Structure 1
């Protein structure tokens, strides 16, 4: 059964409707991550994603973080990308590119389409970018790189982006720094942090997306 956005509460002997989506918005605007993570479970998935996207478009980095987290844990983006690519080894990179693009272009979300439709369009563009890069052997310029690679390059070169990385929660900051500044591979990072390779990849993707949201990397 799908969760309901509204639930019945008894107040002063009267049964009233409680709007969980409104509570989620308030938690996001207050920057209360613990409350937001708890409250989102009481909101219908489509409306939950809409709330996160709308609040992210209004400037809530927490909302962007939770939206990328939702996209990651639901497997929505991975399924979209996997249907379009035969090269399984490229899926992780394109998924990360998509997360970064979602975060960086969240300000363009106008709510005229479902979040899943909007994300699907972004994922398709990232797949096309990947296929174009595969078809050329010419040396890539910075503008040819996917969003994830550009973020990685920016993290190594720009003070403003380094500042954004320092603002990340430690859970994401450590793997992003080890990957994008130290240049370590996923397996080495996983061993150093005592996490699985899959967890490290996911945390780096989310961390990069949060950096993109903070610095406004376009999609």
Structure 2
């Protein structure tokens, strides 16, 4: 805590974390204790407890606090990234932002998934200068622009104009390298990605088949897609 206070004036992320920690004093005791327990669970990589606490806290109007903690740990723990995406999906945060800019519900679904992929892939870029929800809104807005650009365009899109999901779908259809990228995924992510993107199963069907919550499936697919995209960039297939 002393280190955070010392850096308070100079480090935007330390600024926000310090404010968040001080804000615990203003919370009801049971909520404050839950926040501290969640912090400890994430530190210990105890994701059974962390998942339970995130559900409790997000229904207690502590979404910003939960997202701040998850984003902090997501930089070093893939499971925290998965849980972050799961919370953003379960609370409707991403979908609400997308629905505010689009009327077509299919487009809202597509943009929401694109945004979740981008969030999983770029969590390291969050610098703490704003709320996590503000950062998320910026990502969703970019994916909305991508979608509208594709809708207006009558010529094939360049790769840089395509969303991560659209780019991955194109690569799957044209490049055998994707098979290698998929095979490199841990089974935790590979199986749901293959079921969704290769075999075309609905999220609900995948959740039932794998006996996992649907929110977890969406988070794992988003994480898996991001890992595939990173693999393809590393091998020079995409930029």
TM-score normalised according to structure 1 size = 0.73
Structure 2 distance, partners of 1:194, 1:25, is 30
Structure 1 residue runs of 5 or longer lacking an equivalent are 9-16
* 2:41 is aligned with 1:27: yes
- Of Structure 1 and Structure 2, the greater helix share is in 2
What pairs up with 1:110-121 in 2 under 5 angstroms? 110-121=127-138
* 2:165 is aligned with 1:148: yes
1:146, distance to aligned residue in structure 2 (A): 1.1
Structure 1 distance, partners of 2:171, 2:224, is 10
Q: What's the RMSD between the two structures over aligned residues?
A: 3.3
- Name the structure 1 match of 2:68: 50
- Name the structure 1 match of 2:81: 64
Matched-pair contact (CA < 8 Å) for 1:102–1:119: yes
**When the two structures are aligned, how many residues end up with a matched partner?**
196
- Of Structure 1 and Structure 2, the greater strand share is in 1
Q: Relative contact order (C-alpha < 8 Å, sep 6+): which is higher?
A: 1
Of 104-113 and 134-143, deviating more is 134-143
Structure 1 distance, partners of 2:112, 2:98, is 7
- Name the structure 2 match of 1:37: 51
**Per-residue CA shift, 1:61-118, capped at 9, x if unaligned?**
1111111111111111111111101222211110000000111110011111001101
* 2:219 is aligned with 1:206: yes
